[in-house]
Structure 1
Amino acid sequence: MDIDCLPFKNTGYFSELICDYLDQKEELQSFYNRFPTLENFKGQIEEKGNNFPDENREILYNSLQNQYANTKTSKKTQEHIKQLKEPITFTIVTGHQLNLFTGPLYFLYKIVSTINLTTQLKKKYPKFNFVPIYWMATEDHDFDEINYFNFKGKKLQWNREASGAVGQLKTDGLQDVFDAFSNAMGSTKNAETLKRLFKSAYLEHETLTEATRFLANELFGETGLVIVDGDDRHLKRLMIPYAKQDIFEQISFQKVSESVENLASVSDAYGIQVNPREINYFYLIDGIRERIIASGDTFTLADSEKSWTKNELLKEIDDFPERFSPNVIARPLYQEVILPNLCYIGGGGELAYWLELKTMFETMKVPFPVLLLRNSVLAITKKQHGKLDKMNIPVADLFLKQHSFINKKIRNISNIDIDFSPQKQVLEEHFKALYEVAERTDASFLGAVKAQEIKQKKGLDNLEKRLLKAQKRKLKDHVVRMTEIQNELFPGQSLQERNLNFSELYLELGEDLIPSLIKALKPLELEFTIIKTA
């Protein structure tokens, strides 16, 4: 397996905000705590260690024991859960939705990044323990985002009516998805393994939460990964004081709104990732997850007649904390309250909204974690790499938009020089002399000279485009082959990892897939990884 890397900003697939964060742009430094370097984790360990109560560890341990009661757990995961009771143990967290059969390929990259960072930290700080955590987004309610996965260009979808938190959904109806998946896969050894995995996860577990826990544990259990479900009454008791500050004092709304405004003042290009609401909690009960809204002296639900006075809602939070579900703004705080966490690993979109949250954390006196961009990967098979070599296409060129990719290659292989830059330079020299003549004679003549220069440059551009178009026709076979390989590796002109499911790589690599990723991915190098499989 050959491994190469590319700076994230050279791929063209990452936002200006994330690229500036990776470059440690000075104007962004107030929006995060510590930049992700091995050395910076020393201060993060000290800060979190001084601000995480031992009683929270006991509650976390007991909740995990309950959550894992019906799960066959590896010795390493059992050890990690026990270590969480110790004040020298810290976590590294990534979170992900309960996508059907893991959804996009980057699910694996998130978790491998998390596992590998704990390994690096243990080598650097051997006196401490570091536990990789996968936070299941069991309380999300957007079923349409998670009810499918792509396999060999086809969308395999779970069709059913759904409402409320997706983690509580029954797995009824997934037999049809399994049948379609099974028929599309063939009967190789690796295909049979994938069939058993899907069947065991989704046809032999009652809820989507249970199915996802089983699946993630099967894939990563031997690495010691610990899977956390935040939809837990005992864990949510720890959230109560923070939920009250959000709902009754609107601290989250005030502080995040300020941060959004401050981020926008740094650059118009950043945009807003997530807008805070006045109340950042849902009410979760009996298959519904509805927004809580302040309405004068009462509190109501967005799509329900249910209402409370302030005192009634205070009592509801104290008596039934499990009924209060944090949204995208409040969930990160909840996570950091219940876990002895040092670092959150996420994609570009996730880190963009985390950068809005620091002042909210500071106001609520919760340490803000290190933010690390997860590893991104382009996996190229031996066959695909052979095609690239035959056409002499550098991997970096594959990241270009398709028209630029084609144009660059045609210019390189054409036996005619299609670049008219030298002619344009000569033209500019001629017009420079004309501008000097105009200035010495009649300044009003300058506009006519400028118009003529623009016209002639445009004429050269048009000639260049026509010549390029003619060469594309002449080299049509080459254009077809190069676009085919780019479309294979960038389906839908998007990153492979955002479209493919892990099963396509598993069919080729089998049980070597995850060990190979663990060997290849370096989370703190902060570069896009290109893997050429053997």
Structure 2
Amino acid sequence: MKVESIHWKSSLPLTEDYIQDFGKVSDLFDYNPWQESSWGERAAWLDREDAILADRGQLAGVLQAYNKAIGNAPEAIKAIGKLKQQETLCIVGGQQAGLFTGQSLVIYKAITLIRSAKLASEKLGRPVIPVFWIAGEDHDFEEVNHMYYLSSDMQVSKIKIEHPTGKRSTVSSLKIAQEQWVTALELLDASLIPTEFKPGWMDLLHRIAAESNTLVDFFARIIAKLFGTYGLVLINSDDPLVRQLEAPMFERLIREHDILNNAVQSGKAKVEALGYASQVEVHEHNANLFVVDDEERILLYADGASGPFTDRKKERIYSREQLLEWAAYSPERLSNNVMTRPLMQDYLFPVLGTVLGPGEVAYWAITREAFHKVGNKMPIVIPRMEFTLLEGTIQKNMAKYGLSLDDVLNRLEGKQEEWLRSQDTLKLEERFEEVRSRFKEGYQPLVELIASINPGVGKLGETNLSKIMEQIQFLEQKATDAARSQFDASLRQFQRIGLSVVPMGKPQERVYNIFSYLNKYGDAWLYEILDSDIVPDGQHKVCYM
């Protein structure tokens, strides 16, 4: 499989500058990922004696229990054992638990974690383990309950699971009935073409579904099955045992919520002062924490250093003492928001680097001062590797119409129109233009003549001229449609190229699920990437299948 690196400009200016011109954003981050010395500097910072971290032995115990429960590979269990050693560092990154893994970018994040950990271990000469942080605490079920695929009738189609309760509960607490799994798997089966790989994948997915009570269960088991042999360790952020380890940090986040929110506000101001738009809503009264109450996850706001804490509408009120009591005795009732999750991640793990997607890079830029307020530094931010899979039939059709990848990404519609015009041997556009010109040339003087006799009749003539021109235009459109119908097969090929590479106007990885590709090609290409010398260099990777 040939892999080519290209520059696919990010839609987020801050992320684009982070990759292409780091100097512009250097004041927003603690380490330059493109500078070799950053890795040693970060490792030295983590080795300091006053580092505030969760107990490594307890964390390893929690991770071993969870990873054994989801059937992770012996290689991953061995990697967890290394975490007990002070010299071991981590590369951490995560995602929400999407249906059947959700968008392909989730798979590419796992690849980036594994490749980054391997490269860092080689650079530093010490163990570095990849950790996938499953955001089981998130409550937006509509973001994760579906997947997209390209159907045989050239539609971007969706498979989804309905919300089991309707409550804003954490995804890892929402039970999925076996009937829902069966229905979703039947739809997935129908979406996949018959191949030599299909029976094996469907059998695996059915077995995993039978063992899974939630989307997080299913997600963890399939990611472990795909990447566990590469030592990828998984953590569910909503695991009650993880919450117990986080209790001291929750206490600090509650006590210092106003200081941290001021730091976040300052970070946002710095981002905006550099000319970038903030990627998250930062409210002046944010407590940057959630509380679980009556099975619902509620974002907290606070008025002043001591509270009280409330929901957005101030319908539920919690005292500072109540939250501190929960932090000490019921930490499973608390969870982080997007601004404090990075701080908690850094408290739990010795994070050498964190793998982030384009949007995450942009909003992590806000968090630097918050890291400093808790006595830490931001880890090295590693942009997630981006991939586009260019299938053989797509490559063939691109060659047939003389299309470069740049054409497909930036001007496919124009190239299609250009090709259609080249097929127009009748020169319909020119002929109709000539008819319009000659008719107007002969008719306009007549209209002017009758207008000199009677202005009212002249206006009628102008109206008549306009209607005749509209009729010529109508006939031209019908003639063009009839001519184009000869090229329906070619137009479908153009359409398929676009839907394959940039569905819904987005990168392929941000729309399609990975299983249509695993079904067609097996998993050898996935491990070919993992075993290659590809590095996370910020460039988009095109895989010629």
SS at match of 1:40: helix
1:354-376 per-residue CA deviation (whole Å, 9 max, x = no partner) reads: 11101100111123111111111
Task: Give me the whole-angstrom Cα distance separating, in 1, the residues matched to 2:71 and 2:243.
Answer: 25
Judged with a 3 Å threshold, the aligned counterparts in structure 2 of structure 1 residues 408 and 48 are, in CA distance, closer, same or farther, namely: farther
Larger deviation, residues 301-310 vs 319-328: 301-310
Question: Could you say which residue in structure 2 is the equivalent of 1:60?
Answer: 59
Task: Give me the whole-angstrom Cα distance separating, in 1, the residues matched to 2:422 and 2:37.
Answer: 45
SS at match of 1:8: coil
Q: Aligned residue pairs: how many?
A: 475
CA displacement at 1:518 relative to structure 2: 1.4
1:394-473 alignment to 2 at 5 Å? 394-406=404-416
Question: Could you say which residue in structure 1 is the equivalent of 2:81?
Answer: 82
- Percent of aligned positions that are identical: 22
Structure 2: which 5+ runs fail to align? 151-155, 426-475
Question: Could you say which residue in structure 2 is the equivalent of 1:298?
Answer: 308
Matched, 1:523 2:529: no
User: Any conservation in 2 of the 1:2–1:532 contact (CA below 8 Å)?
Assistant: yes
CA displacement at 1:520 relative to structure 2: 5.1
1:283 counterpart (283, 291, 302) = 291
Question: Could you say which residue in structure 1 is the equivalent of 2:499?
Answer: 487
1:69-108 alignment to 2 at 5 Å? 69-108=68-107
Task: Give me the whole-angstrom Cα distance separating, in 1, the residues matched to 2:201 and 2:504.
Answer: 25
Task: Give me the whole-angstrom Cα distance separating, in 2, the residues matched to 1:508 and 1:136.
Answer: 27
CA displacement at 1:345 relative to structure 2: 0.8
Question: Could you say which residue in structure 1 is the equivalent of 2:201?
Answer: 194
2:21 counterpart (5, 24, 39) = 24
- Code of the aligned partner of 1:273: Q
1:252-289 per-residue CA deviation (whole Å, 9 max, x = no partner) reads: 2111111111111111xx21101234211111255211
Matched, 1:346 2:360: no
Question: Could you say which residue in structure 2 is the equivalent of 1:509?
Answer: 521
User: Any conservation in 2 of the 1:112–1:521 contact (CA below 8 Å)?
Assistant: no
User: Any conservation in 2 of the 1:375–1:522 contact (CA below 8 Å)?
Assistant: no
SS at match of 2:91: strand
Task: Give me the whole-angstrom Cα distance separating, in 2, the residues matched to 1:220 and 1:390.
Answer: 37
Larger deviation, residues 240-249 vs 402-411: 402-411
Matched, 1:169 2:170: no
SS at match of 1:132: strand
Question: Could you say which residue in structure 2 is the equivalent of 1:5?
Answer: 5
CA displacement at 1:317 relative to structure 2: 1.9
- Code of the aligned partner of 1:47: W
Question: Could you say which residue in structure 1 is the equivalent of 2:442?
Answer: none
Matched, 1:125 2:105: no
Question: Could you say which residue in structure 1 is the equivalent of 2:236?
Answer: 229
CA displacement at 1:30 relative to structure 2: 1.1
1:261-280 alignment to 2 at 5 Å? 261-267=269-275, 270-277=276-283, 278-280=286-288
SS at match of 1:279: strand
1:473-522 per-residue CA deviation (whole Å, 9 max, x = no partner) reads: 88994666434422332111211111111111111211313212314573
1:70-90 per-residue CA deviation (whole Å, 9 max, x = no partner) reads: 233322112100000001111
SS at match of 1:500: coil
Task: Give me the whole-angstrom Cα distance separating, in 1, the residues matched to 2:381 and 2:413.
Answer: 35
SS at match of 2:523: helix
Task: Give me the whole-angstrom Cα distance separating, in 2, the residues matched to 1:291 and 1:106.
Answer: 27
Question: Could you say which residue in structure 1 is the equivalent of 2:159?
Answer: 156
User: Any conservation in 2 of the 1:54–1:87 contact (CA below 8 Å)?
Assistant: no
Task: Give me the whole-angstrom Cα distance separating, in 2, the residues matched to 1:414 and 1:351.
Answer: 48
Task: Give me the whole-angstrom Cα distance separating, in 2, the residues matched to 1:414 and 1:5.
Answer: 37
Scaled by the length of structure 2, the TM-score of the pair is: 0.80
User: Any conservation in 2 of the 1:105–1:499 contact (CA below 8 Å)?
Assistant: yes
Judged with a 3 Å threshold, the aligned counterparts in structure 2 of structure 1 residues 162 and 194 are, in CA distance, closer, same or farther, namely: farther
- Code of the aligned partner of 2:11: F
User: Any conservation in 2 of the 1:54–1:85 contact (CA below 8 Å)?
Assistant: no
Scaled by the length of structure 1, the TM-score of the pair is: 0.82
User: Any conservation in 1 of the 2:308–2:320 contact (CA below 8 Å)?
Assistant: yes
- Code of the aligned partner of 1:23: Q
Judged with a 3 Å threshold, the aligned counterparts in structure 2 of structure 1 residues 316 and 20 are, in CA distance, closer, same or farther, namely: same
Judged with a 3 Å threshold, the aligned counterparts in structure 2 of structure 1 residues 510 and 390 are, in CA distance, closer, same or farther, namely: same
CA displacement at 1:302 relative to structure 2: 4.5
CA displacement at 1:124 relative to structure 2: 1.9
- Code of the aligned partner of 1:33: D
1:333 counterpart (329, 343, 358) = 343
Question: Could you say which residue in structure 2 is the equivalent of 1:42?
Answer: 40
CA displacement at 1:244 relative to structure 2: 4.0
Judged with a 3 Å threshold, the aligned counterparts in structure 2 of structure 1 residues 327 and 507 are, in CA distance, closer, same or farther, namely: same
- Code of the aligned partner of 2:494: M
Task: Give me the whole-angstrom Cα distance separating, in 1, the residues matched to 2:189 and 2:493.
Answer: 30
Structure 1: which 5+ runs fail to align? 416-465
Rg (Cα) greater in structure: 2
CA displacement at 1:240 relative to structure 2: 4.0
CA displacement at 1:200 relative to structure 2: 2.1
Question: Could you say which residue in structure 1 is the equivalent of 2:254?
Answer: 247
Judged with a 3 Å threshold, the aligned counterparts in structure 2 of structure 1 residues 248 and 413 are, in CA distance, closer, same or farther, namely: farther
User: Any conservation in 2 of the 1:36–1:371 contact (CA below 8 Å)?
Assistant: yes
